[in-house]
Amino acid sequence: MPLHRPPVAVLAAVALLAPAGPAVAASAASSSSPVASGVAAVSAASAASVTSAVSAASEDDGFTLTDPRITESSGLAASRAHPGVYWTHNDQDEPRVFAVDGRTGETVATVTLRGVGKPRDMEAISVGPDGYVYVGDIGDNLNGSWSHVWIYRFREPERLRDTAVDATQYTVRYEDGPRDAEALMVHPRTGRAYIASKNEEGGGLYEGPAKLSAEGVNVFRRVGEVPWVTDGAFSPDGTRLVLRGYFSARGYAWKDGRLGADDRVRAPILGQSESVTYTADGTALLFGTEGARSRVARVPVEGTGAAPSPDAPGGPSGTGGTGAAGTGGGQAQGDGAPGGSAYTVGLLALGAALLLGLRRLRARGGKGGGGGAPGA
């Protein structure tokens, strides 16, 4: 099965570029070559300025992952045991996660998981109400090549230091067959695990059993329809679920284990947008991306009455912080809300990146390997 069909990528880019002007959108739509469209949208001569504009959109808020080992940050989760600390991980890596200081972006602990097999594609991380961290080894870039995937669970360490911990490996199967997924969310009240699948035509929200079992297979059943999703997170009070894609994010009311009314969430313009989490107090969302020294942008949650503080974990480390999402000249704009030249240039860069192909998905399409029984 092809990983991506070029017509879908072109249409997505046209929709993305529309706010930048009808001429740009029309040019992208009429091009018969995705590569040519990408080159036309962003020339090599302007690559440096494009990068600067995109970075400036979130420069005042959040932090940068400084650890050179973190090159494919695919998930992000706020620690419950250590305020201001965030868990992240690479997708193609040994079974390990990194604890990162939200003020500095520096790694303060590396935790290696014992008792699990070799990961195939770790795409998500979430912290449950039980004091455990859940890692979703749920990626399947061939969209159905794996009959099952895994969730790893380990207790948050009391002390932040490099260590190895015992972890539990749970086997997961979808009721309606294998699929690709990048979002694992553990509800902060019930402790129930949910997975959002990822597909060009839209994905599904899958609910796990009330309690995961290390014996046998945990069947996840489809309970809702969602768009293309690269990560998701519940609010700390469990009343809201935010799902993000490459270009935008949506929020859903959450009640009795089901999706409610949805709305657009302000999301920053990043490169390969891969992760999202709430801060521990629920006053802001942190959006992450892949790559070396990747940026994690902080966007205050509207209606919480909170403003960024230079001393707040995950808040701005310098001057020039913005207010609520959508205010302040340095704040990245959400989907459908143009915010000046930086926004337009950022859209052009992002559209070009899409038309050139989703690098990671294509590059890893032939990979897969790994995986195995605990201790393998």
Give per-10-residue mean pLDDT for the chain (376 aa): 36 36 35 37 35 37 96 97 98 96 98 96 97 97 88 98 98 96 98 94 94 97 96 98 95 97 92 94 97 96 58 38 32 35 43 47 44 47
Number of neighbouring beta carbons within 10 Å of residue 44: 7
Calpha distance 374→61 (Å, rounded) = 40
The full set of domains in the chain, from first to last, is 6-56+336-361 (no CATH), 63-332 (2.120.10.30)
Q: Is the pTM of this model over 0.75?
A: no
Cβ neighbours of residue 274 under 8 Å, at least 6 residues apart?
A: 73, 74, 75, 182, 230, 231, 288, 289, 290
CA angle 134, 371, 156 (to 5 degrees): 20
The pLDDT value given to residue 46 = 35
The conformation of residue 221, written as its DSSP 8-state character, comes to E
Number of neighbouring beta carbons within 10 Å of residue 197: 25
Cα 363 to Cα 35, 80, 92, 357, 368, distances in angstroms: 16, 35, 12, 10, 11
Residue pointed to by tokens 């006053």: 283
